[in-house]
Structure 1
Amino acid sequence: MNILVLPPFTEAQRRVLEAGAPGSAFTYTSPANATDEQISSADAIVGNLPPERLAVARRVRLLQLNSAGYDAYAAPGIVPEGCALASAVGAYGQAVAEHLYAMVLMLMKHLDGYRDDQRDHVWGERGAVTTMAGARVLVLGAGDIGRHFARLAQAHGARVVGVRRHAGAVPEGFEHIYTMDELPGLLPQADVIASFLPSTPATRGIVDKAFLTRCKRGAYFANGGRGDLVVQADLAEALERGQLAGAALDVTVPEPLPTDDPLWDAPNLLITPHVAGGFHLHTVLDNIARIAAENLRRLGAGEPIINAV
């Protein structure tokens, strides 16, 4: 089996990957440097090859993405007929959750303001701070990232509940799981709201003026899911009038956020440029190698793949 590998795996991660398909020929390159010949001869591709380049992938039977999202590959005709498509759901939970959790703590302790004071050479106090201990935390999306965030908050003494489409079993870190229909009644109780929801017709624009007005005054909001969940003008207005004590965004619409967008100047807002995931934390590539190895093993054995989309 010829396997084309695009992520920048370390030698140790390559060994994990290759253990999933002993005896196969592995070619390591990057999306920018992959040749048409390499793509056309591949039985499996690991990584996010630009969708338009899949037209020459005549033999491919598995496209294992290195991303949890797969929107760019969802349109009919993008993935060749007979090719299984798998995402990397489960690879980013720790990285994204830790990043957003750190942003929320930064806001709760006014560390963003003290950093500004340091730059301005100002020695002063910024008043009372808040804590996760005893806080009521509402997590929107109880998947891999949401579960990691819940465990972090619970470890610091927070009481955590989650929301997802179907209630089902309660994962570790949560006290209770509610459905999306119950969300409006939960907002007034939450001190921290962290969203890791995907972009769907039901979630786009869900964080709007009505949503934010229902929130407890002085709550914190964080979004590490998709930027189009938030009506950004409504979020800025909620921050300006003090409805929210702070907000943390790793995703926006559009990306990059234009330099003249008023969101940059909203008070008590932290923005990072969609970097919570990526390959910044080494565990992400560890996890992708593990997921890809398992799917290569399953492909060779004729078994159903995991994370199929």
Structure 2
Amino acid sequence: MTHEGAPATGGLIVNCLPLTEEERRRFRQAAPEMVQEFTGDDAHRGDMVWPVTVPESLRPLAAAVIGNVDPDTLADYARLQWLQTFSAGADPYLSSPDLAPEVAVCNAAGVYGRPVAEMMIAMMWTLMKRIPDYVRNQSAGAWRDEGSVSSPAGRRALVIGTGDIGSHVAVLARSAGMATTGVRRDPRRSADGVDEMAGFDRLDDLLPRADVVFLAVPSAPGTRHLMDARRLALLKPGVYVINGGRGDAVDCLALAAALHGGRLAGAGLDVTEPEPLPEGHPLWREPRCLITPHVGGGNHLAGTGEAVIAVALDNLRRYAEGRPLLHRLGRDHR
């Protein structure tokens, strides 16, 4: 999505992407009149993590930063006009009181939809086919039939949040034979893979119809504990809950209680509240809960790093030319 109002250009650009020398040359060509400092290391291309470290001497001079800086250091960036994140999520920046309202915050929308959706669908299949039970049996050297399994065919997927990730989930779910219902703020907007769209005001009515609930919402006041004890109780027995968006969308203690009580068939969590999930949390002890450490996105899938670089390079050209930036987030995104 394009947003009008690209900021005035000028000043230092701090680029924290792990770039090769050839890629750095392309960034210099994209903004030849601007000074660029490159702080990323290509040796970390495959394990790109954030927040990145920007030298303290560069922070007061930076008009633009490409990279997920530490939100606690935002007050150091007195001249900042544009922040381009590696990630799709930008919640800590949008909610920070240290970031001036006029600073343009752009994310890497469109890069992580497929890998995160594939992780979420993989979790669904894994739980339905009782793979975790067989992995435990293998570790114990036990040849044991774990009984009946499930199939997505003929079931209904409720996809809460139908942006890039949610739409990819819906497409994959429908290809597996599922009917798909989407939930988004503006139900008048369609999304690929969604058979029917509804607003959040209908969520309580839709939950009892679902066989699998997929959550792909950002972290925001209106989405925190969207799936709490009350809403988990609205689900019919045997439902799967899969969260690949933000950990605080699910009350993890309430989810642990629902799993322990036997009401849910299983839960797959690539994100939790808090992260990392602390030692001793009851979800660690739930055999029907599959937990991964927020690895659905990131740079784990080959080609993701190149896609992030392409987004940042396109926006750098736009910034240098004073054109509207892509994937600019309004403060109401929260």
TM norm structure 2 = 0.84
- State the one-letter code of the partner of 2:199: T
Tell me, which stretches of 5 or more residues in structure 2 are unaligned?
1-9, 41-50, 330-334
Counterpart CA distance in 2 for 1:214 and 1:55 is: 44
1:300 aligns with 2:300: no
Instruction: Check conservation: 2:128, 2:151, Cα contact below 8 A.
Output: yes
Counterpart CA distance in 2 for 1:308 and 1:124 is: 53
Give the drift of 1:169: 3.0
Counterpart CA distance in 2 for 1:33 and 1:142 is: 33
1:78 aligns with 2:98: yes
3-state SS of 1:216 partner: coil
Alignment correspondent of 1:134: 154
Alignment correspondent of 1:207: 227
Counterpart CA distance in 2 for 1:173 and 1:246 is: 24
Q: Cα deviation per residue 1:187-239 (whole Å; 9 max; x = unaligned)? A: 12211110011222222222122211221211111011222222222212221
RCO comparison, higher one (Cα < 8 Å, 6+): 2
Counterpart CA distance in 2 for 1:293 and 1:251 is: 29
Instruction: Check conservation: 1:165, 1:180, Cα contact below 8 A.
Output: yes
Alignment correspondent of 2:31: 21
Instruction: Check conservation: 1:222, 1:249, Cα contact below 8 A.
Output: yes
1:191-202 pair list within 5 angstroms? 191-202=211-222
Instruction: Check conservation: 2:63, 2:82, Cα contact below 8 A.
Output: yes
* Worse-superposed segment, 281-290 or 68-77: 68-77
1:249 aligns with 2:269: yes
1:276 aligns with 2:286: no
Cα 1:247–1:9 change in 2 (3 A) is: farther
Q: Cα deviation per residue 1:247-274 (whole Å; 9 max; x = unaligned)? A: 0111112211111111211230011112
Instruction: Check conservation: 2:251, 2:273, Cα contact below 8 A.
Output: no
* Worse-superposed segment, 4-13 or 235-244: 4-13
Instruction: Check conservation: 1:97, 1:149, Cα contact below 8 A.
Output: yes
TM norm structure 1 = 0.90
- State the one-letter code of the partner of 1:29: T
Alignment correspondent of 2:56: 36
Alignment correspondent of 2:7: none
Match 2:82 to one of 47, 62, 68? 62
Match 1:101 to one of 121, 140, 143? 121
Cα 1:11–1:244 change in 2 (3 A) is: farther
Alignment correspondent of 1:8: 18
Alignment correspondent of 1:171: 191
Count of matched residue positions in the alignment of Structure 1 and Structure 2:
309
Give the drift of 1:49: 1.6
Cα 1:19–1:187 change in 2 (3 A) is: farther
Counterpart CA distance in 2 for 1:195 and 1:33 is: 31
Counterpart CA distance in 2 for 1:121 and 1:76 is: 51
Cα 1:224–1:33 change in 2 (3 A) is: closer
Match 1:114 to one of 125, 130, 134? 134
Cα 1:32–1:173 change in 2 (3 A) is: closer
Percent identity over the alignment is: 41
Instruction: Check conservation: 2:218, 2:246, Cα contact below 8 A.
Output: yes
Instruction: Check conservation: 1:21, 1:293, Cα contact below 8 A.
Output: no
Cα 1:130–1:15 change in 2 (3 A) is: farther
Give the drift of 1:241: 2.4
1:149 aligns with 2:169: yes
1:218 aligns with 2:228: no
